[in-house]
Amino acid sequence: MSPRDQDLDGVGIVSAIDVHGGLVFLDETGAVRSMTEAGERTFLSGVQTLHDANERFVLVSVGDVLGIHSLVSGEAVWARPSRGIHGERITAAMLLDDGALVAREGYAMTGDEDVVEIERWGSTDLLWRHAHEEVVLGLASTSIGILAHDQSGAVLRLTREEAKEIHHAGSGVRALVDLGDEVCIAAWFNVHGLGATGLVWTVEHPGMPSALSVLGNQLLVVGDDGNDWTGPEPLGVVDLDAEVFEVDPSELTAWVPPPIQEADEVPSMIEPSPDLEPEVTEHEWQAPSGLMDALNEATPEGASTGEKEEDLLAALTEEGAKGPSRPFTVDLGEHREVRATADGVAEVLLESNVSGAPVEGLMFAWSTSDGREIGTKGRLLLKLPRGTHRFELRVRHPDGRWAMDGIQVHVA
């Protein structure tokens, strides 16, 4: 399909999938449309999520029903039976041969326990099912097998017999690209090359990689350095034909050129204070010179104060350890309504309020309504088009507990 401009009547695109000879996309009105050189047409409406598409079918969620529809007529050819009387969420889904691969999260009665499963459906029946501990966020059919990845960073190779972990990245996978005999994934600040049995190579990126692309024998890595876009974002290029060699972990970023140092043109408003030489005063405590002096010498006031402070801190710490633990919660606040600028986009900052947990050691996982992970920090800066958007935040306590909250943002 040759590049060309197309007027979409000002309706924002939620997601798009490249299909041979065209494009299938979901717009903000819930319509699924097909665009080819022959023209554009709408063949489905009322769709919440577009999961996958190929030359013949699309896999979509309409209401609470996940189904396969004809790309030509929009007619439903398969619908997955819903499960769980307390509700469930489809976190990932893809077309596979004559059926589908589905990852679901079922909600237990108390809400404290989630049931996560990966289902393999044929044209009509369930072929196999595997349980998993963490929420699965992505599925892919690749050259090294059928893969799944979860919110903790585990990458699984799926067969009828088992779901085998071949690598754990330590953080959720943000991008994946198939090289033909290897699969590259981006997670945290690293890019990993995976074979059928596990890790083959890894490099570290100065920013958090968010997109991967292959150009000839080079892998292009786009990353966000987390500075709220106030400076240039790092771009890495990996030579896929280069030999793999071992380096110290501290040298994993040596392949990326250092950033250009820009001169600081802001004038200094305060002159630095000169170094002050320590002065000995008559009140300064001197070490005793002999045994009798040591016996007669009073304890320095500073040392006594320090010991009292340490005793007080120890008492407070011990008392705190014995006290009841506070409930662990996260709060994103009320639903928000914002107004877009002239270009139809609004910049929105989402912030989390976590209680009952220490500041250090928390793990954050922001996701969209379709389960796609978009952030791993306590704050999330977004640029949103007009429409209604829902986001969820899961926070993991250092002791293993999870807390979750959601927020809806309407951009007018």
User: What is the rounded CA–CA span in Å between residue 393 and residue 407?
Assistant: 9
pTM for the whole thing? 0.61
Q: Where is pLDDT greater, at 292 or 76? A: 76
User: What is the rounded CA–CA span in Å between residue 49 and residue 52?
Assistant: 9
Q: Is 85 helix (H, G, I), strand (E, B) or coil?
A: coil
Cβ neighbour number for residue 375 with a 10 Å cutoff? 21
Question: What's 405's domain CATH number?
Answer: 2.60.40.10
Range of the domain at 378: 329-411
Residue 6 lies in a domain: no
Tokens, residue 378: 């306590």
Sheet containing strand 363-368, edge to edge, reads: 336-338, 402-411, 387-396, 363-368, 373-375
User: What is the rounded CA–CA span in Å between residue 280 and residue 282?
Assistant: 7
Q: Would you say 198 and 245 are in contact if contact means Cβ atoms under 8 Å apart?
A: no
Kindly give, in sequence order, each residue whose CB lies less than 8 Å from that of residue 173, ignoring residues fewer than 6 positions away: 137, 138, 149, 153, 155, 185, 186, 187, 373
**Averaged pLDDT for residues 151-173:** 95
Q: Would you say 405 and 385 are in contact if contact means Cβ atoms under 8 Å apart?
A: no
User: What is the rounded CA–CA span in Å between residue 16 and residue 25?
Assistant: 4
Amino acid at 347: E
Residue 321 — pLDDT band, cuts 50, 70, 90?
very low
Q: So what's the pLDDT on residue 199?
A: 96
H/E/C letters for each residue in 237-270? EEECCCCCCCCCHHHCCCCCCCCCCCCCCCCCCC
Residue 309 lies in a domain: no
**Averaged pLDDT for residues 378-389:** 86
- Check whether 223 has a pLDDT greater than 60: yes
User: What is the rounded CA–CA span in Å between residue 105 and residue 402?
Assistant: 15
Residue 286 lies in a domain: no
Looking at the 3D structure of the chain, how many domains does it have? 2
- Final residue of a domain: which of 192, 210, 228? 210
User: Is there a single domain that holds both residue 49 and residue 191?
Assistant: yes
Residue 49 lies in a domain: yes
Supply φ then ψ for residue 170, to 5 degrees: 85, -10
Q: Where is pLDDT greater, at 142 or 248? A: 142
Q: So what's the pLDDT on residue 310?
A: 61
Percent share of the chain, pLDDT over 70: 75
Residue 226 — left, alpha, or beta (φ > 0 → left; ψ -120 to 50 → alpha)? left
Tokens, residue 119: 């289902």
- Final residue of a domain: which of 194, 210, 226? 210
Q: So what's the pLDDT on residue 345?
A: 82
Residue 170 lies in a domain: yes
Q: So what's the pLDDT on residue 253?
A: 59
Tokens, residue 26: 């979901």
Closest CA to 228 of 18, 34, 394, 381: 381
Of the listed ranges 134-148, 181-195, 271-285, 336-350, the one predicted with least confidence: 271-285
**Averaged pLDDT for residues 157-171:** 95
Radius of gyration of the chain (CA): 28
Of the listed ranges 215-229, 270-284, 380-394, the one predicted with least confidence: 270-284
- Check whether 148 has a pLDDT greater than 60: yes
Of the listed ranges 52-61, 174-183, 292-301, the one predicted with least confidence: 292-301
Tokens, residue 313: 């801190």
Residue 279 lies in a domain: no
Q: Would you say 116 and 108 are in contact if contact means Cβ atoms under 8 Å apart?
A: no
- Check whether 74 has a pLDDT greater than 50: yes
Kindly give, in sequence order, each residue whose CB lies less than 8 Å from that of residue 344, ignoring residues fewer than 6 positions away: 10, 12, 385, 386
From residue 123, alpha-carbon distances to 68, 126, 284, 304, 348 in Å are 10, 9, 87, 79, 42
Closest CA to 100 of 134, 131, 61, 149: 61
Q: So what's the pLDDT on residue 288?
A: 52
Residue 76 lies in a domain: yes
The per-residue pLDDT for range 95-111, each reduced to its tens digit, is 998 899 999 998 764 55
Question: What's 163's domain CATH number?
Answer: 2.130.10.10
Of the listed ranges 100-109, 180-189, 321-330, 376-385, the one predicted with least confidence: 321-330
Residue 280 — pLDDT band, cuts 50, 70, 90?
very low
- Final residue of a domain: which of 210, 236, 251? 210
Q: So what's the pLDDT on residue 412?
A: 81
- Check whether 206 has a pLDDT greater than 80: no
**Averaged pLDDT for residues 227-239:** 69
Q: So what's the pLDDT on residue 23?
A: 94
User: Is there a single domain that holds both residue 204 and residue 338?
Assistant: no
Q: So what's the pLDDT on residue 34?
A: 93
Residue 400 — pLDDT band, cuts 50, 70, 90?
confident
Q: Where is pLDDT greater, at 323 or 232? A: 232
Percent share of the chain, pLDDT over 90: 44
Residue 95 lies in a domain: yes
User: Is there a single domain that holds both residue 145 and residue 18?
Assistant: yes
